[in-house]
Amino acid sequence: MEKEVKYEYTKTPLDYQITEYDCGTTTLLNALRYLFKRSEISPEIYKYIMQYTLDKSNDLGEIGKGGTSVYALEFLSNWLNENAINKGMNLTTKSLLKDEISIYNKELESKIKTGAVAILRVYQECEHYCLLTALDEKYAYIFDPYYLNINYYDKDNCVEIIKDRPFEFNRKVKKERIEANSKNDFALVKGINSEIIIFERK
C-alpha cells in the first residue's frame, strides 16, 4: 500500500485553466503555487503574469484566443529574474536553448530532483503548456492544467491520469512519449516554438 502523502496546507493545490486558451497563464501560476507558500507569493507578480499572458490572437483577430506565445513566456521569465527578489520572492528561471530541449537534459534532471519545476511546451491537439514537477528513470510527473475525465487515457499506454496528488502532479507520462518526434499528447514541441523553462526557488 502506498504511503499516505501529507501536504503543507499553507500552500494551494495546483489549478486548472478556466478557458480553452489560458494554459500558459495557469501553468506559470502553478509554478509559483508549487514553489511558494500563499503568504510568500507577491500579488504584484500575479498581476504581471495575468497582464502579459494570453497575448496571441487567433486567425480572426480575437484577442487571447491564440493563447500565450513563447515570446511572452520568455519575457516573463527574464522579468522574473530581474524583479522577483525585489518583490520578496527568491526565484530564478532559466530557459533551455533550443538544441538542449529534451526530457533527458542533465541540467533539467538535476534541477527537478532538487525541487525545481519546469514549464514544458508540448502537444495536446495544439501546442500546450504544462508543469513538470518530478522525474524518475522511466516517467515524468506533470501537472496538466486541462481537466479531463479519469478514463481519458485508458487506451494510451504512455499516459496515466492521477487524481490524488493535487499539490504535485496529475499525469504520469513515459519519457519516451515526451521525447518522441510526434504530435501525440505530451510530446515536446520541436523547432522555433520549442520551450522548456526551469523555475527554481533559491
pLDDT in tens, 137-175: 999 999 999 999 999 999 999 999 999 999 999 999 999
Q: What pLDDT sits at residue 3? A: 60
pLDDT tens, residue by residue, 87-105: 889 999 999 999 999 999 9
Dist. CA 53–CA 57, nearest whole Å: 11
Q: pTM of the predicted model, to two decimals?
A: 0.93
pLDDT tens, residue by residue, 12-56: 999 999 999 999 999 999 999 999 999 999 999 999 999 999 999
Q: What pLDDT sits at residue 9? A: 77
pLDDT tens, residue by residue, 177-189: 999 999 999 999 9
Q: How confident is the model at residue 202 (pLDDT cuts 50, 70, 90)?
A: confident
Structural domains present in the chain: 23-201 (3.90.70.10)
- Mean pLDDT across 118-140: 97
